[in-house]
Amino acid sequence: MTKTLRITAAAILISFSVSAQQTAPARTVIDFEKYNPPSTLVVPEHKLTRAKFPFIDVHNHQYSMPTQDLKYLLKQMDSLNMQIMNNLSGRGFKRVNGQFDVNDHDYLQASVDNINKTNSKRLILFANISFIGFDEPDWLPKALKGLEDDVKSGAKGLKIYKNLGFGYKDKNGNFIKIDDPKLDAIWAKCGELGIPVLIHTADPKQFWQEEGYENERWLELLITKRDRSATDPTWDELIAQQHHIFQKHPKTTFIAAHFGWLANDLTHLGKVLDSFPNVNVEFGAIIAELGRQPRAAKAFFTKYQDRILFGKDSWVPAEYQTYFRVLETEDEYFPYHKKYHAFWRMYGLGLPDDILKKIYYKNALRIIQGIDAAQFPK
């Protein structure tokens, strides 16, 4: 092609491009959070408002239990067929110099007193531990005595918040590690007392990954602003610390909150459960992960049916419907209740009754001592 022809061809292409830009309609920008069109798929739907069997929610939070109207709370529970709620915030929480902390034994005792005035069979709670003053010589004796006092008052277990590992710091400004040898006495004491430890470690792994179009938790990160600094421990380090205490304390029963943040990798989670017979899991805030892989999740629930407990986390009664639908039905392609948690659609697992009963109450009755089993069917 001659130089003249090449110039003419380039001019034609430029002219066509400009013309196309001038005539093409303006591109509409869609708000991802608002774009949630009803599906046109015509399939059976079973929108459940109550669980098929009475259930125990092992992962709930009530932050005003000493003073709140527990009779109203029981009415809300009745609407869901929730027979027992476990308040993991037995000592509530407070801020100390801008840092999260828990209250003292008197707060827990006041919660127990309010429960006993209302219905002691349907509301239980777990103890908590403050790690402020961790370096002081008397911290461990006080923590152990506080745990024993809480259990004597009626606490059924110990809840460890995620700020152990990347929240609480020692006097040198270093994060207190979950598997710090000083804490071995705490985990061992729980084994001696026969109480489980429900432990929340880390957050979803994507919270440590680069934000952007390749991160499926990007919207959640933008909304919740969970910043990570270069000095924070990595996700892998935190999970390794958690698994280390599982391994070091085989006589202590652990419940890994949120499926140990491995609900998106059930093969990995299965290996964890195979390695540590003393570990169980609950599915608070991760039901959307299970609902997008119904075949794999149902196989997992079938294999580990004795190791899974019902947990929800935040107390929003209307959201339980999603959990019931995923567990009980075989519905297809239905939405989750929080788009920033899950922008995908879900599918029901259709678990059989014998497994549902274990998930809803039988496993919790076995693992958490002192619950009146007469409240549940055989």
pLDDT tens digits for 214-263?
999 999 999 887 767 777 999 999 999 999 999 999 999 999 999 999 99
328, part of any domain: yes
**Parts of the chain with a pLDDT under 50:** 1-21
The rounded distance, in Å, linking the Cα atoms of 141 and 147 is: 10
Question: What domain range is 77 assigned to?
Answer: 49-372
In a domain, 173, yes or no: yes
Q: How far is CA 324 from the centre of its chain?
A: 16
Q: What is the pLDDT of residues 101-125, one digit of tens each?
A: 999 999 999 999 999 999 889 999 9
Q: Is residue 85 part of a domain?
A: yes
Provide the domain count of the chain. Answer: 1
| Within a domain: 104 | yes
**C-alpha distances out from residue 35 to 32, 39, 215, 339, Å:** 5, 12, 19, 10
Does 155 fall in a domain? yes
pLDDT (tens digit, 9 = 90+) per residue, 61-81? Answer: 999 999 999 999 999 999 999
Strand 123-125 and strand 55-60: pairing?
unpaired
pLDDT of residue 341: 86
Taking the model in full, what pTM does it have? 0.92
Residue 19 lies in a domain: no
CATH number of 257's domain: 3.20.20.140
Does a structural domain hold residue 75?
A: yes
Do residues 197 and 158 lie in contact, with contact meaning Cβ atoms separated by under 8 Å? yes
In a domain, 3, yes or no: no
